[in-house]
Every structure is written in C-alpha cells, then in structure tokens.
Chain A
Amino acid sequence: MISILTKKELREVLRSGQFRIAGLIVILLTAIAVFISTGYYRSVQQQHYQAQNNERNVWESQDDKNPHNAAHYGTYAFKPKYPLSLIDQGVDKFVGISIFLEAHKRNEAQYMAAADQTGLARFGELTPDFILLFIIPLLVILIGHDAFTKERERGTINLIKSQGVSMRLLAFGKWLGVFIPIAIITVFVFLLAGVLLSSLGDFGQFSWNALLVMMLIYLAYYAIFACISIIVSCLARNSGIALVGLLAFWIVSCLAVPKAATNIAETNYPYPTKQAFDEAVALDKSKGLDGHDPWSEAAKQLEEETLKAYNVSTLEELPFNYDGFRMQKGEEHEAEIYFKHYRQLKEVHSAQTSVYRKLTVLSPYLPVRFLSMSLARTDYNTHWHFSDAAEKYRIQLQKALNDDFAQNSQYGNWAYKADKSFWAEIPEFSYEPPSFNEVLGENQKNIAVLSGWLVLAFAGLFISTKKL
C-alpha cells in the first residue's frame, strides 16, 4: 500500500509545474554557487600557499641578527582552507586569515574578508551552504504545503477515506513523496561535490566520511521540514494559509531565532572591546616580569632566585647569557597572561554558544548550521583551535630564539648576532585541524538536538493525522 501511495505522490510532485520550475531554479543556483565558490576558493587557497611560502622565504632570508630582533621581526601563520569549506564557508569570512607571531604579544587574526566587503555581503552569499540551509527547505515547503489541503480543496480526501486507507499511512506516503525528490537532489549535489573535491589536488586532504555525515545531517534537516510541511498542510484550512504558516516557521527558524539568539547572547555575555582587552592585558603584564626591564621588582626577584639556584654571586658567572634567560622568563610570564585573558574570552564564547544551543529547541536550523560548519572546519571552534596552535608555535619560536641568545652569548652582549643559517633550522609552522572524531565528539549535543527534532517531527506527523 505504501509503495502505491508513494508512487502516486511522487508522480504528482514530479509532474507539477511548481516543482519542475522551482527544482530547476534550485539546481541552477546550486551550479552557479558551486562554480563561483570553486573559483573563489581555488584563488584564495593559491594566495594562501603563495603567502605562506613567501613568508617562510622572508623568514629564512634574514641576515645575521640578534635572535630577539628576529623575534620582533616575527613571522605570519596563514590559516589554511579545507576541502569541505567549498560546501560550507561557515564563519570563515568573519575571522582573520593570518596571525602575526612576534615577541611579547599574542595577536588576533587579522584581515577578515567581511571587513573589506560592502554592506551587501551581510545579506549572505550564494554559496552551497546558503542553498542547502535556506533555499532547499523552501523547496520542501513549496512541494509539501498543499499535500493535504489540495485533497481537501478538490474533495478527493473523502474518496481516499472511503477506500479505507489508513490516514497515517497516507501521511507517510505523502511525506515520502515530498522527501524522496529532495533527497535525490541532495544526494546528487553531495556526490557531485565529492567528485569535484577529490579531483582538486590543492584542496588538502578530503574525507568522504565527513562528506557523508554532512549529507546525512542535511537529509535529517529536510526530513524535519517535510514532516512539518505535511503537519501544517494537515491542519490548515487551505493551501494559502498552509504556505503562509510554513513560511512563517521557516523565517522564525532560519532567520528570526538565530538573530534573536545573537542579541540575547551579546546582551547577556558581551565580549570586551578590543581596546579594553588590550589594556587589561597590558595592565597585567606591567605587574609582572618584563624581559626588557632589569630594574623592576619582578626582575630583581628573578635575578636573586637565579643566582641562588646556580650558586653564583654575579650574573657574569652564570653558564648562560642572563639577558636571554630573563627575556625567556618574561615571555613565559606574558604567555601566561595571554592564556588567562584568552581563557576568559573562551568562557564568554562558551556562554554565548550555550544561548544558541538552548534556542536550538526553537529552530532545527541552528543545530544543522553548527554541525555543518564543524564538519567543514569553518566553525569558530576550529578558528580557536588554529589560533591556539599558532600561539603554541609562537611560544616555541620565542623559546628557540631566546635560548639561542642565552646559550651562545655572554651577559650584556646585546651585539650578539645569530648566524643566518639559524633561521632555517627553526621548524616551520604547520597546523592540523581537529580530527573527524573530535568534531563529532564536540557536537554531541547538536546531534542529540537534531535527533530530538527528527523524532518530534515524526511524532507530530503521526499525531496530527489523527484529526483527518
């Protein structure tokens, strides 16, 4: 029976002009989005490779120099792009592309793409994730809104009832009629993306597993929208009201709730301003050891402790250059301060995330958005991960430079210069994003909420058909 119902629904949907036109438009828009995004990402990726290589050349081409001056000269860490960012660019354009790694200071990632774009960019861009998250649910609504209302408007519902068809079976058949064409389009788009991504050599290591999970998440998302469309169609008086009601749900879910969540999160857990953050860091730094200031109390204390530890009476007697040693201790103190302040920022970020998470009960869009970005490695957590890795590298870099200064020169010899061959000996910055399993582990709550939505949507579908 269910196969007969599904076949009938599918035939009806596929024959309808609405679906044909809308489906064609969606496929056309997807093709445009994939085409433009591929071109854009290839050029960005190429620029990043070029920038990273040039930066390394600039670093290695330094002349003989005092290692601390090289530390100030610094280097850049460029954030790589990952294959699935072609499908979901997440928050990429709202975070910087590179971090300047220098002595004494942890810098924020600079040059966010959105800051160089006009206000037009804030409407969103026609990228594959825009189509997957916003447009395809609209297509689901378009084909599902009149699933029952049209039967009522034509009077065919009574005919169906008179045949003794179970209304729940009918509803499930209608759900399949809506879901199957959408699932075919989705599977096709993801297969195409998979083939495209595995053929693009310069896109990093591509994982079919991540792509498959991403596809399943979107399929669950559309299954929820299909259920809600059928439920509303079942309850509405006519197709017009069903469509308006479903569109209202779409707007609340995809636009209004995420925006309201932002307002709630920012009002309750505001980030400090950049200036206030920098001043708080500077204040904490001033209370501790500054590698350049041997006259401060902290410096005097370190001096006493070092002399005692090495059982010598003057700094000249130490088996290393105390200036380099003090610089390193200063770096360690500053790194701790940055760690403390960035941990506070992360706490704000976690509190804000919890607001979004709480509101996922009002919007299936939110868990899907967060899951999709995480799998594409374009979410905020991946950015934090990159930023922390860059900071870890910065600390190691400073240590290598200060150690060279301390080990190879005498106390007071600021004229010491490391040989230019030393710069190439320092390992290059390399970054590995969180693994697929880590991503899934971090997103357990999002997966649970999405599953909850799916279960509730099906439960709603079966309960609402009682009314028929």
Chain B
Amino acid sequence: MLSLNIKTELRSIFRNYWLASIAVLLFVLCFYAGWNGTNHVSQRKENIAQAVTAMKEADILMATQLDSISNGFEVNLQPWWYPTSPTAVGDQYPRVAAFHPTSLTFIATGQSDMFSHYIKPIMTGDSYTLGFTELTSPVSLLMGHFDLAFVVVYLLPLVIISFSYNILSTEKESGSLVLIASSPLNVSLWLLQKLSVRFVVISGLLSLCLGLVLIFNGNNFNAKSLQLFTTIILYSAFWFALAYLINLQGRSSSRNVIVMLGFWVVFVLAIPSLASQWANAVYPVPSRALLVNEMRSLKAEVVKEQDKLLDDYLRNHPELIGVNADSDESLRRTQQYFAAKDMVEQRIQPLLSTYNTNLEKQQTWVSRFAYLSPAILAQNSLNHLAETSSEHYDSYRQNVRDFAEQWRDFFLPMTFEGKIFRKEIIGQFPEFHFDKTAIRSPIPINSTVLLVLASGLLIVGFRTRGAHEMEKIMQ
C-alpha cells in the first residue's frame, strides 16, 4: 500500500505543472541570490586585497627609505615621519587586520554589511576609539539584501505552502476522497506519506539548486556544507509538518491557505519583529549617549593630571614630539606621552568594561528569543555558517583590540630605549590571526529544536486524527 501510494503521489506530482514551476522558481531564486552573495563577497575580498597590496608596497618603500637614510641620502619625508623612528613606523606602516570571508560567506549577508572587514590599528591610536562600523548607506541596511538566507528563511516556506496547502482539501473538493475513504486507510498515514513524498521532492530540488550554486562558487562538499543542507532540510521539515497538521483539520483549500499564510506571517514577520522590539523595551541596550558623556567627564578629570606630565599640544600631535628637542628631551616627552595615554586608558577601561558587560548580558538575554520562531533559528544557523553572525563580529573586534595592543607593545620597548628602527625588523612584525575558537556554534541546538518542533507537529497530527475521524474530515 505504501509503495502504491508513493507511486501515485509521484506520478501526480510529475504530471502537474506546479513542480516544473517550482523547480524553475527555486533555480532562479537560488542562482540570483547566490550571484548577489558572490558579488558581495568579491567586493570584500577585493577591498582586503587592495589594502594588503598597499601595505606590502608601503613596506617595500619603507625598506628603500631606510637604505637611503643609512647611506646618508635625503628622503622626501618630514623628519618626524622618518622610518628610523619606531613610533613613526608603528603609526605610518600599520598591518591589515583582516576578516577574510569563507567559502560559505556568500549564503548570508548577516551583519557583514554593517561592519568593517579590515582595520589598521596604529601605535598611538586608542584601542577604545577604534571604529568598526563600515561606511555604508543606511538605506541598504534598512532594506537588507537578496541573499540565499532570504530565499530560505522567507521564500522557501511560501513555496512549501503553495505545494502543500490543498492535498487533502483538493481530494475532498473533487470528490475523490470518498474513493480513498472506501479503502482500508488511516487518513493520517495516507496524508503523511503524500507529504513525505512532497518533502523529499522539494528537499531534493532545493539541494540540487544549492549544490549547483555551491559548485559554481568553488565549494567542496564538507562538514560545513552538510550543516547547511541539514539546517535547510530541517527548516523545510518544520513547514511540511505544519502543513500536515493544517491539512488534517479537513477544512477547505482557501481556509488552509489563509491559516498557513497566517503562520508564515506570525513566524517570519511578527514574532521576530515583536521579539526584537519587546526585548529592547524590557532590557534596553545601555545608552551610548550617556557612555559618551561619562567618558567625557572622566577625560576632563584626567586631563588635569595629564597636564602635569605633558602639554596638551604634544599629546594631540605626538608626531611633533621630537621637533626642536634633543634626543634626551625627545625620549622624555615620548615616555610622558605614552604615560599620559595610559592614564586615560586605565581610567576609561573600567567604564567601558562595565558597558560591554551590560551589553553582552543584554545580547545574551535577547538571543533567547530565537527559540520563539524557527525562522530566527534558521537565520542564526545560516549566519553562523556564513561567519556573518553578531558573535563573529564581536569576536573579530576583540581580536583586533588584542592585536592593537600587541602592535603597540612591539614598538614601545624600541621607542623607550631610543632604538633606531632597522630594515631587518620588518620581517619580525606581529601578524594578525583571527582566532575564532571562542565562537560557539548554535547549529547543534538550533537543529535539535527544529527537529523537535517538526517531530512534535507530526506526532500531534498523527495522534489527534486517526482513521476513525475520516467521517469528520469528509463532512
């Protein structure tokens, strides 16, 4: 009976124009979204590559200038920017601390449109003033991007709804349900078999489209792509399971489609937006405006102490520290400059730490709302796989701040000891490595929740409507 039912269902699906339309639609959507994602990633790669090339060229020029200086030639630079000064090198020849895209970055824009993908921390820069937001149009941020995540999270459920809302109701409306009822069938099982066939067909089509998009993007099939397929298939399973439950209610096709679209609005639009707004109302993001105020007040206090160490003018223009000063005076001023800087950092750091801890608590609390909607779970998983999640950017920021400190510490001893910077030291420059090990993957838990939700809906449907309820459905 099972095989007969599956055969019949497959035959009816393949004879129907819906499947061809859906196949074309999925193919077009996946390729267009994939192409957009690839463009976005290419721009990011190109920007980083340009910055790295410029850095390498600057290094070569610096080496040439150092040779010229050591040979007693003039170089076309103001004296305070001579690369013989470690402070000048630390400021003028920064490294590119880049966040490179991975092979799956193209699938979800996530937070990548908002933040910078390379930063060049300098020696005299303040780690607390490092800016990470990218120069981008807020209109683009508001509208969002047409990426694969959008196709999966928003559009895929609609494709599923259009492919599954009328399975039972069509039979009822065309009168063939009477024929089915005359056979010894459990209606729940019969519907489950039909929906399972459709689930396999849609999952297969989608996997094929995605597989092709991945291949065109030069991806190998690995653990990450497997996680991508798992996430999408489980998300589809949830919507098919919901369709199963709604079909079983035995209502008309128009009623079914209204109810299913209602669920789509609730899960994809209403809950995420309500959760986001509600979370911020109940546990607001700590105020940046007030943080600015507190930092300013604190700085105003520290300025008086800093004045005792070094005049404001040289604090604002450290490059001029050596002008009109002998080497001892210059060294003394440099030490005072960094001591004055440290004084501010040390005073501001606790304030910033408190703010960041509060922000982290707020974000942890808000992230719990993800479990209210399968759409949020799927989006979070896709962002994680694409490495465009909030957690990735938080971690990147921390890595860059650590590197900024490392960069400064590399030059500071040379500056304090009054050493001359030499060409050989270029090869010893610290390099930036983005350590992502602290980022926890939400995929195992998100996938489990999606699986539990889908199974739960199937069990509820299977238990509440048995063969004995066929009469009710037929009414």
Contacts and interface: CB of A to CB of B under 8 A. Distances in A.
A117 B380 CA distance: 14
Interface in A63-116: 63, 65-66, 68-69, 72-73, 76, 78, 90-91, 94-98, 103, 108, 110-116
A61 B293 CA distance: 14
B36 A263 contact: yes
B53 to A, nearest CB: 12
Interface in A17-58: 18, 29, 32-33, 36-37, 39-40, 43-44, 47-48, 50-51, 54-55, 58
A296 interface: yes
B131 A110 contact: yes
Contact of A123 (B119, B136, B165, B379): B379
Contact of A127 (B277, B296, B303, B389): B277
B40 interface: yes
Nearest to A69: B312
B138 A51 contact: no
B273 interface: yes
A259 B288 contact: no
Given A29-B270, A258-B143, A274 B135 contact: yes
A132 B254 CA distance: 25
Contacts of B114: 94, 112, 114-115
B99 to A, nearest CB: 12
Contacts of A122: 110-111, 144
Nearest to B257: A240
B39 A50 contact: no
A349 B374 CA distance: 36
B289 A119 contact: no
Given A40-B281, A98-B292, A118-B390, A247 B261 contact: yes
Interface of A is mostly: helix
A356 interface: yes
A126 B253 contact: no
Interface string B300-319: 10011000000011001100
Contacts of B317: 292
Contacts of A50: 289-290, 293
A115 B50 CA distance: 26
A125 B276 contact: yes
Contacts of B110: 119, 122
B313 A414 contact: yes
Given A244-B162, A271-B136, A51 B274 contact: no
A4 B274 CA distance: 40
Nearest to A150: B254
A256 interface: yes
Nearest to B253: A240
A82 to B, nearest CB: 16
A347 interface: no
B432 interface: no
Given A271-B135, A296-B78, A116 B285 contact: yes
Interface residues of B, number: 93
Nearest to B366: A118
Contact of A66 (B141, B150, B166, B312): B312
Contacts of A121: 276, 280
Interface string A437-467: 0000000000000000000000000000000
A123 B376 contact: yes
Contacts of B141: 91, 94, 114
Interface residues of A, number: 101
Given A110-B131, A119-B380, A266-B40, A126 B270 contact: yes
B453 to A, nearest CB: 18
Contacts of B116: 273-275
A116 B359 contact: yes
Nearest to B94: A275
A244 B257 contact: yes
Given A134-B269, A275-B118, A292-B320, A47 B139 contact: no
B376 A120 contact: yes
A198 B316 CA distance: 47
Contact of A94 (B142, B279, B280): B142
A306 interface: no
B20 interface: no
A293 B254 contact: no
Interface in A272-299: 272-277, 279, 292-293, 295-296
B115 A251 contact: no
A197 interface: no
A69 B140 contact: no
B284 interface: yes
A383 B357 CA distance: 30
A125 B296 contact: no
B138 A247 contact: no
Chain B interface mostly helix, strand, loop or mixed? helix
A124 interface: yes
Nearest to B288: A111
Contacts of A270: 43
A234 B134 CA distance: 48
Contacts of B155: 251
Contacts of A262: 139-140, 143-146
Contacts of B143: 258-259, 261-262
A266 B115 CA distance: 15
Contacts of A108: 131, 135
A60 to B, nearest CB: 11
A123 B273 contact: yes
A393 interface: no
A261 B137 CA distance: 13
Contacts of A125: 273, 276-277, 280
Given A55-B293, A356-B139, A119 B261 contact: no
A36 B281 contact: yes
Contact of A97 (B161, B162, B289): B289
A61 B300 contact: yes
B27 interface: no
A69 B36 contact: no
A265 B140 contact: yes
Contact of A273 (B135, B289, B303, B320): B135
A275 B54 CA distance: 12
Given A48-B289, A94-B138, A123 B276 contact: yes
A243 interface: yes
Given A243-B254, A274-B135, A356-B139, 9 more contacts: A55-B292, A76-B296, A91-B141, A118-B366, A123-B273, A124-B273, A263-B36, A266-B40, A271-B134
Interface of B: 32, 36, 39-40, 43, 47, 50-51, 54, 78, 110-111, 114-120, 131-146, 150, 154-155, 158, 161-162, 165-166, 253-254, 256-258, 261, 265, 269-270, 272-281, 284-285, 287-290, 292-293, 296-297, 300, 303-304, 312-313, 316-317, 320, 359, 363, 366-367, 369-370, 375-376, 379-380, 383, 389-390
5 contacts: A33-B277, A263-B146, A273-B116, A275-B116, A352-B137
Interface of A: 18, 29, 32-33, 36-37, 39-40, 43-44, 47-48, 50-51, 54-55, 58, 61-63, 65-66, 68-69, 72-73, 76, 78, 90-91, 94-98, 103, 108, 110-127, 130, 134-135, 138, 142, 146, 238-240, 243-244, 247-248, 251, 255-256, 258-263, 265-267, 270-277, 279, 292-293, 295-296, 345, 349, 352-353, 356, 380, 383, 414
Closest 3 CB pairs of A and B: A123-B272, A94-B138, A91-B138
